[in-house]
């Protein structure tokens, strides 16, 4: 493992501009400098509320997606592309000094979803779900013997991630994103009516969490009309499923008479829904306009940017500016953070908004008595550059969220394969 940490220390050297690190060759020296540089680098860039601090636990891991943390502190990270033939990391701080000193990879499939529940680690490929038995410390017993829970989900390359979550009653929920942005007929601006994609994609399906070798036919469509819900979580406070949706793309390509390029860049809203079985969020027939605060009929189905539609479609519980890319949703149940964060939702945004000139951030939605309040930016500047007038490349793109056993918040970055840990200490 010494070679890995020397490589990691070299990365921190480039970030912090410290010379002479390559002369440090002992494992202890490397670990001490790794820890110091990580804290200094992150504190200088990630903007957080008073009392919060962030450290970098690991970097250069590859395209890290969703993340789960066990009771022992073991960190499980999914990769969207294989690295050295493997798609999942186990990261371990063996001596509890705040530095990752053990890394192991397993699983010969890429993907996004990963979740710990009832003694198992559940992990998704782009077509199905596996699970691994855990011990009492939530450490994997055998990485080479997963059980196949599910296979046969749609994978046509676009928006093919399969995020997962579980409820308390033994049910597994899996997003199947749409491989079409707006369900248009090929080469035209006209929408398919009905949208045939919705029979196997564009929604969230429910399966049994403990039944092996299920196929798509064994599942039940739980909620439909969701173009691509990469962020999903089961809220134990309200005992309901929540999901964030990636909004559709351009309007002005086929409908310049109704939408300017500026409107196309600022619409539609990215949305968050509270879902129950049978709900329909309305895609592709309608979209939510956060400026007008209305559900608007999509132009492919006769809309002009003003006509409302989707009377039976859900209203979002929260709406965000367009194209932020909500890639993870997590309800916070820990005790480390101040009380106002308890039972609220964190959202990792993977892209940026032309309207706000903001992005690459973690937002927070407070919940009071089960109702969503006004969203706010919690952790900002993962990009590392001014998004109004950028002077260099984007450094980090938040993608996954997890809560540690101590109540800390973990954030993945799929651009440079970095793992952040956010702590709180009252000053």
Rounded to whole angstroms, the Cα distance separating 214 from 139 reads 25
The pLDDT value given to residue 403: 98
CATH superfamily of 54-424: TolB, C-terminal domain (2.120.10.30)
- pLDDT by residue for the chain (427 residues), tens only, comes to 333 333 333 333 333 333 332 222 233 333 333 333 343 344 458 999 999 999 999 999 999 999 999 999 999 999 999 999 999 999 998 887 878 989 999 999 999 999 999 999 999 999 999 999 999 999 999 999 999 999 999 999 999 999 999 999 999 999 999 999 999 998 788 999 999 999 999 999 999 999 999 999 999 999 999 999 999 999 999 999 999 999 999 999 999 999 999 999 999 999 999 999 999 999 999 999 999 999 999 999 999 999 999 999 999 999 999 999 999 999 999 999 999 999 999 999 999 998 888 999 999 999 998 899 999 999 999 999 999 988 899 999 999 999 999 999 999 999 999 999 999 998 7
Look-up of token digits 């790794």: 34
Least Cα distance to 327 among 394, 232, 262 occurs for 232
Rounded to whole angstroms, the Cα distance separating 86 from 83 reads 5
The pLDDT value given to residue 292: 96
The pLDDT value given to residue 44: 57
The pLDDT value given to residue 45: 87
Rounded to whole angstroms, the Cα distance separating 46 from 246 reads 24
The pLDDT value given to residue 32: 33
Q: Peptide bond preceding 228: is omega within 30 degrees of 0, i.e. cis?
A: no
The pLDDT value given to residue 426: 81
Domain segments of the chain: what residues? Answer: 1-44, 54-424
The pLDDT value given to residue 109: 97
DSSP labels, 45-63: T-B--TTEEEEEEE----S
Collapsed DSSP state (helix, strand, coil) of residue 214: strand
> What's the pTM?
0.90
The pLDDT value given to residue 142: 96
DSSP labels, 361-394: EEEEE-EETTEE---EEEEB-TT-S-SSS--S--
Q: Peptide bond preceding 194: is omega within 30 degrees of 0, i.e. cis?
A: yes
Least Cα distance to 165 among 126, 221, 113, 128 occurs for 113
In which order are the strands placed within the sheet that holds 279-280? Answer: 164-166, 171-176, 203-208, 220-224, 279-280
Collapsed DSSP state (helix, strand, coil) of residue 191: strand
Rounded to whole angstroms, the Cα distance separating 50 from 118 reads 35
């Amino acid at each position: 493992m010494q070679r890995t940490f020397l490589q990691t220390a070299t990365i921190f050297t480039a970030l912090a501009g410290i010379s002479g690190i390559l002369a440090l060759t002992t494992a202890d020296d490397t670990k001490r400098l790794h820890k110091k540089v990580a804290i200094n680098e992150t504190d200088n860039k990630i903007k957080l509320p008073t009392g919060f601090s962030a450290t970098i636990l690991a970097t250069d891991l590859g395209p890290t997606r969703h993340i789960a943390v066990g009771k022992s502190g073991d960190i499980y990270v999914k990769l969207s592309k294989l690295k050295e033939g493997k798609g999942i990391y186990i990261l371990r701080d063996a001596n509890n000094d705040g530095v990752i000193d053990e890394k192991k990879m397993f699983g010969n499939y890429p993907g996004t979803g990963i979740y710990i529940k009832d003694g198992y680690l559940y992990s998704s490929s782009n077509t199905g779900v596996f699970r691994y038995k855990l011990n009492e410390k939530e450490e994997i017993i055998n990485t080479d013997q997963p059980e196949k829970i599910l296979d046969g989900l749609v994978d046509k390359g676009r928006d093919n991630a399969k995020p997962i979550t579980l409820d308390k009653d033994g049910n597994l929920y899996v997003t199947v994103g749409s491989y079409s942005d707006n369900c248009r007929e090929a080469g035209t601006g006209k929408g398919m009516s009905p949208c045939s994609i919705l029979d196997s994609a564009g929604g969230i399906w429910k399966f049994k969490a403990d039944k092996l070798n299920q196929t798509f036919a064994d599942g039940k469509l739980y909620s439909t009309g969701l173009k691509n819900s990469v962020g999903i979580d089961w809220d134990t406070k309200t005992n309901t499923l929540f999901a964030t949706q990636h909004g559709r793309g351009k309007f002005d390509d086929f409908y310049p008479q109704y939408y300017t390029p500026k409107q196309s860049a600022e619409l539609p809203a990215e949305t968050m829904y509270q879902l129950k079985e049978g709900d329909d969020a309305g895609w592709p027939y309608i979209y939510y306009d956060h400026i007008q605060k209305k559900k608007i009929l999509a132009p492919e189905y006769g809309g002009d940017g003003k006509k409302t539609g989707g009377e039976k479609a859900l209203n979002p519980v929260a709406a965000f500016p367009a194209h932020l890319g909500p890639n993870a949703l997590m309800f916070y149940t820990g005790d480390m953070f101040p009380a106002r964060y308890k039972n609220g939702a964190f959202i990792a945004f993977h892209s940026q908004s032309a309207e706000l000139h903001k992005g690459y951030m973690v937002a927070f939605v407070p919940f009071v008595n089960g109702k969503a309040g006004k969203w706010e930016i919690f952790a900002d500047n993962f990009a590392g550059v001014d998004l109004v007038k950028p002077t260099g490349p984007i450094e980090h793109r938040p993608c996954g969220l997890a809560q540690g056993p101590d109540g800390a918040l973990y954030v993945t970055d799929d651009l440079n394969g970095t793992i952040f840990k956010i702590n709180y200490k009252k000053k």
